[in-house]
Amino acid sequence: MKHLSEKTKIFVETASIEDRILSCRNNKWIGYGQATKIMSKLDEMIIYPKNHRMPNLLIVGDSNNGKTAILDRFKKKHESYVDEDISVVNPVVYVQAPPEPDERRFYNAILEVLFAPTRTSEKLDSRYLRVKRLLEKLKTKVLIIDEIHHVLAGAPTKQRKFLNVIKHLANDLQICIVCAGTKLAFNVIQSDQQLANRFEPRVLPRWNNDIELKRLLLSFETLLPLQKESLLIEPSMVNKILSMSDGLIGEIAKILELSSIEALKSGEEKITKDILNNIDFLSPVDRKKKFIT
């Protein structure tokens, strides 16, 4: 089992089939090139000294291509803790943008993730001050707003107001803002010149048949709890997985999850082209066709 990492090898040698199947379903972090660079940038934000022009980041990519996985890992890396003054510190606050650019919903989202009460009758100004004071008290360093492209669902006036809220929070608190979304997120940030100048864009492109994809598949293989080597980097396997996944890392992970489980249930102990052909999986392209027809 030379194809496995040492930790996975020990697990495979001692775990039951049921436990190995469960392991296939667990999320697996692969520190591929662009993800590692973005994580390093995010880590810098945690220790960045307060000033009047804090660094901000815009992470852009297609749906299911790794944005949320990166942000979730960063959040878990910097969980809340109790400092020497016996005060709770929450360095990273992670929320989703509301379905439309609505200030009240945005404030509520922040309050909810911080387990603070929301009051229906509370005025917007008061709610903003409460959010601001709470983030100050918790010594928050980074505010993450996922699905920022939702801002485009509102009228231009509402969009401007919502973007102004983000600017005010960044200025008043002197914290870093990280926004993430689909390619439409570019339009959101570019619609405000001040924000466009403050946000550094990082793009997560779809995967191509190149050395980076082979490294990714090789990394996955070291973590899959299978006794035999699947040779995922063999050219025909690479082409098959790339075609099925449409170049999206979330789809690649799902394909390998389903294939690993099938390899365990069948006793094959490795992923083969026959298994790839027979798993219960529809590619993103085929899913779209289903909806169209």
Whole-number percent of the chain with pLDDT over 90: 80
Q: In a 3-state reduction of DSSP, which class is residue 73? A: helix
Read off the pLDDT of each residue in 209-215 and give the average, rounded to a whole number.
Answer: 96
Q: What is the pairing mode between strands 88-89 and 81-82?
A: antiparallel
Read off the pLDDT of each residue in 203-208 and give the average, rounded to a whole number.
Answer: 95
Q: In a 3-state reduction of DSSP, which class is residue 65? A: coil
Within a 10 A sphere around the Cβ of 268, how many other Cβ atoms? 17
Q: In a 3-state reduction of DSSP, which class is residue 175? A: coil
Read off the pLDDT of each residue in 124-149 and give the average, rounded to a whole number.
Answer: 95
Is residue 139 scored above 60 in pLDDT? yes
Edge-to-edge order in the sheet of strand 199-204: 92-96, 142-146, 176-181, 56-61, 199-204
Task: Look up the pTM and report it.
Answer: 0.91
Question: Which tokens in the block code for residue 81?
Answer: 């803790």
